[in-house]
Amino acid sequence: MKAIVQNDYGSSDVLKLAEVARPAMKDNQVLVRVRAVSINAGDVFAVRGEPWPIRLAAGFPKPKNYVPGQDVAGVVEAVGSNVTEFHPGDEVYAACSGALAEYASVAEDKLALKPANLTFEQAAAIPTGAITALKGLRDVGKLQPGQKVLINGASGGVGTFAVQIAKALGAEVTGVCSTRNVDMVRSLGADDVVDYTQKDFTQNGRRYDLILDNVASHSFSDMMRVLTPQGLLVPNSGHGGMGYVFKAFVLSPFRRQLGSMYLAVPKGDDLTQLKEWIETGQVKPVIERTYPLSEAPEAFRYLEKEHARSKVVITVTEF
């Protein structure tokens, strides 16, 4: 099968289109014929090999035919002997390893049926970004109906989902973004939008019950100053600034209003919850650019250097 592989760490130039063997399928796995993949900041980190612990998964000291990518949508090709929930022909979406290929193997509990009202490209844009937002708001932030939440970085791959999920959970939502994204964030349901090029939300006198921080644009002290007495700052653990994430991990036991890093591993149950919101129109993916598999290096380059808003998707077609 065709796949994007890397045999070194560095820029997106290390990514090559190559012929590799189909992935092996275990008894509890499903073989998916991939139709689309979205890429995330974590995929860029894997290509760079930074921070270094990523190399334990991608390959140490160098990767060998490592296939990047994790957010996938496609059609079930075959199922393992222990799989009971899925059948060949099912349209599905998931997060897995080795997604940037014609086929990917996915554990049954990481898979869900694709929302019926989405294309494969739209479905592939969901898993990691939406689950990061969902877990940060619902599981770490314990967001309740009627609370006031601020999404810092509301136009990115996590932020666009966070605005919509917070609204689905019944919150009053303020989104922070740049001028060019104000209308888009408002169209996602934000009750208020702050253009950070014009105003500093830490200086406007408003208080929030929860802040999901996707960009680390302010110090923890500045952010917590705009929280209510019982409010919580939740740092997005997928943020590229690892010093920021590590600092939150170290300080959170000593600062009541600071949440620690959290794992946002997409699982079938969470994807099914998102599917319900999507099919009722409460949540929708936003895609900025789409590339064919052969142009995957350019897609990574754009995501890394051009401050992409929303999601970047790669389509996988017949060769």
Looking at the structure, do residues 50 and 102 belong to the same domain, yes or no? yes
Looking at the structure, do residues 6 and 119 belong to the same domain, yes or no? yes
Ramachandran class of 245: left when φ > 0, alpha when ψ lies in -120 to 50, beta otherwise? alpha
Considering 201, 235, 254, which residue would you say is the last residue of a domain? 254
Looking at the structure, do residues 200 and 238 belong to the same domain, yes or no? yes
Say what the pTM is: 0.90
Tens digit of each residue's pLDDT (9 = 90 or more) over 68-108: 999 999 999 999 999 999 999 999 999 999 999 999 999 99
Give the number of domains in the chain.
2
Asked, for residue 21, whether it belongs to a domain, the answer is: yes
Looking at the structure, do residues 146 and 240 belong to the same domain, yes or no? yes
Dist. CA 244–CA 267, nearest whole Å: 26
Looking at the structure, do residues 111 and 150 belong to the same domain, yes or no? no
Q: Residue 219 maps to which CATH number?
A: 3.40.50.720
Looking at the structure, do residues 175 and 229 belong to the same domain, yes or no? yes
Lowest mean pLDDT among 71-85, 246-260, 265-279: 246-260
Looking at the structure, do residues 169 and 59 belong to the same domain, yes or no? no
Looking at the structure, do residues 141 and 180 belong to the same domain, yes or no? yes
Domain extent, residue 13, equals 2-126+285-315
Looking at the structure, do residues 205 and 163 belong to the same domain, yes or no? yes
Looking at the structure, do residues 137 and 206 belong to the same domain, yes or no? yes
Looking at the structure, do residues 67 and 170 belong to the same domain, yes or no? no
Tens digit of each residue's pLDDT (9 = 90 or more) over 141-198: 999 999 999 999 999 999 999 999 999 999 999 999 999 999 999 999 999 999 999 9
Looking at the structure, do residues 310 and 216 belong to the same domain, yes or no? no
